[in-house]
Amino acid sequence: MRILVTGGCGYIGSTTARLLARSDHEVVVIDDFSEGHRGAWDGELHEMDLRDPAKVSAFANSNAIDGIVHFAARAYVGESMVQPLGYWRANLVPVMNLCEAFPGLPFVFSSTCATYGEPDIARLDESLALEPVNPYGATKAAAERLLQDRAAADQGVYLALRYFNAAGADVFANGDHGEHHDPENHLVPRAISNGLGLLKEELEVFGTDWDTADGTCIRDYIHVSDLAEAHVLALDHLFDGKPSTVLNLGTGRGYSVLEILKAVEAATGTELNWKAAPRRAGDPAELVADATRAFEVLGWQAEHSSLENIVETAVNWHRKHPQGYCS
Ligand SMILES: NC(=O)c1ccc[n+]([C@@H]2O[C@H](COP(=O)([O-])OP(=O)(O)OC[C@H]3O[C@@H](n4cnc5c(N)ncnc54)[C@H](O)[C@@H]3O)[C@@H](O)[C@H]2O)c1
């Protein structure tokens, strides 16, 4: 199949694009390089801003595509709080443009646990009502709804995959591909950069007085290669004529911020330089997936997501490429 991967020069998108290509799909990537890197993907590439309907429609008129995997988005909770309009445009308009330009095509959508908001239960499953507490989560919930309405009108099947915290580096790339954002806001790469002396400033731990065992937030870290595998299975599911649905992608096991820092200290052989900082608005104490449905529907479960493997693959990437794709 010829698959369009949007945001395929970004972190999760490029890992998935490489795996799809290895799975005998023909992969076409669109990226506008607002975050992505040319070094992340060396196959067919079109530079384009998906917010532009005319460009998306011209692309659709000259390219035969069998399925869409849509990663392109803005993805920072804090930024979304101060740029809500920009987030609505960035995260909803491309979905509308793609659906209009490619009527009827199977659509795999990058959603997020941020759609759930701050539920007060230990493990989140897909039956929970979506009550996002920030514009980022709200835009993703709205895009899911758009895809649901499109499917209900028989205008195209979809799978929305709600990732928990993506981390680690492509297990097939031997340290040559990994996470590179500028600025980097994610805990695992920030902690590793701190441990390797690449990030001079102190690491901030946002809240040490949460109602958790060690007082820091708990998240479910899912290896980027596990996410990529779920997308390959998701496309197979849709191409096999199976129904649209929504699935969590996580491990079901949470780690606190301090547990992550300890794992990074062990892997880098250093003591991290960190300080306690105030809680951030919109940060729930604990977000852990119930990923039972992903196993039932796709036969998917996390295989690369032990904390050791997440940290080890990411450290390997940061050691080999201290400036990310710029080195
Ligand atoms: N990283 C995580 O932990 C996480 C968790 C849950 C959901 N997600 C979702 O997964 C997806 C990928 O996340 P990521 O961490 O790989 O992000 P990323 O920023 O590394 O990748 C996004 C890519 O999309 C491109 N892009 C953005 N807007 C575009 C536009 N208008 N037109 C064309 N290209 C555009 C960027 O240049 C970038 O290459 C996002 O939709 C994000 O919301 C990520």
CATH number of residue 134's parent domain: 3.40.50.720
For residue 68, tell me if it sits in a domain: yes
Q: What whole-number distance in Å separates Cα of residue 247 and Cα of residue 230?
A: 10
Helices 187-195 and 257-268: crossing angle in degrees, nearest 10, is 40
Same domain? For 123 and 46 the reply is: yes
Please give the pLDDT value at position 104: 97
Q: What is the Å distance from ligand 1's center to 35 Cα?
A: 8
The residues near 190 (Cβ < 8 Å, ≥ 6 apart) are 184, 199, 203
Same domain? For 68 and 108 the reply is: yes
Rg of the chain on CA atoms, in Å: 19
Please give the pLDDT value at position 327: 83
- HSE-up (13 A, CA, CB side) for residue 207: 18
Q: Is the whole model's pTM more than 0.95, yes or no?
A: yes
Same domain? For 321 and 261 the reply is: yes
Q: What whole-number distance in Å separates Cα of residue 34 and Cα of residue 31?
A: 8
Please give the pLDDT value at position 121: 86
β-pair partners for 69: 5, 108
β-pair partners for 46: 30
- Count of domains in the chain? 2
Ligand 1 pocket: which of 4, 9, 11 to mutate (most atoms within 8 A of CB): 11
Please give the pLDDT value at position 230: 98
Same domain? For 97 and 153 the reply is: yes
Same domain? For 153 and 129 the reply is: yes
Of residues 190, 203, 226, 208, the one with CA closest to residue 318 = 190
For residue 298, tell me if it sits in a domain: no
Same domain? For 322 and 226 the reply is: no
Q: 11: Cβ below 6 Å to ligand 1?
A: yes
Please give the pLDDT value at position 111: 98
The residues near 185 (Cβ < 8 Å, ≥ 6 apart) are 76, 78
The pair of structure tokens assigned to 84 is 């809500």
Q: What whole-number distance in Å separates Cα of residue 158 and Cα of residue 171?
A: 27
For residue 152, tell me if it sits in a domain: yes
Of residues 144, 133, 117, the one with CA closest to residue 84 = 133
Q: 9: Cβ below 6 Å to ligand 1?
A: yes
Same domain? For 261 and 140 the reply is: no
Same domain? For 260 and 131 the reply is: no
Q: 112: Cβ below 6 Å to ligand 1?
A: yes
For residue 178, tell me if it sits in a domain: no
Same domain? For 7 and 26 the reply is: yes
Q: What residues make up the domain containing 239?
A: 2-167+221-249
The pair of structure tokens assigned to 202 is 């102190």
* Beta strand ranges found along the chain (DSSP E): 2-6, 26-31, 44-47, 67-70, 107-112, 158-163, 165-167, 203-206, 218-219, 221-223, 245-249, 255-256, 274-277, 286-287
Q: 300: Cβ below 6 Å to ligand 1?
A: no
Same domain? For 114 and 73 the reply is: yes
State the greatest distance between any 2 C-alpha atoms of the chain, in Å, as a whole number: 56
Ligand 1 pocket: which of 5, 6, 28, 32 to mutate (most atoms within 8 A of CB): 32
The residues near 95 (Cβ < 8 Å, ≥ 6 apart) are 70, 109, 143, 146, 147
Q: What whole-number distance in Å separates Cα of residue 116 and Cα of residue 102?
A: 29
Contact (CB, 8 A) for 108 and 161 = yes
For residue 173, tell me if it sits in a domain: no
The minimum-distance atom of ligand 1 relative to the CA of 166 is 3
Q: What is the pLDDT along the chain (327 residues), one digit of tens a residue?
A: 999 999 999 999 999 999 999 998 999 999 999 999 999 999 999 999 999 999 999 999 999 999 999 999 999 988 999 999 999 999 999 999 999 999 999 999 999 999 999 888 879 999 999 999 999 999 999 999 999 999 999 999 999 999 999 999 999 999 999 999 998 999 999 999 999 999 888 999 999 999 999 999 999 999 999 999 999 999 999 999 999 999 999 999 999 999 999 999 999 999 999 999 999 877 888 999 999 999 999 999 999 999 999 999 999 999 999 999 998
Ligand 1: residue whose CA is nearest its atom 35: 72
Q: What is the Å distance from ligand 1's center to 315 Cα?
A: 22
Q: 185: Cβ below 6 Å to ligand 1?
A: no
Ligand 1 pocket: which of 71, 179, 260 to mutate (most atoms within 8 A of CB): 71
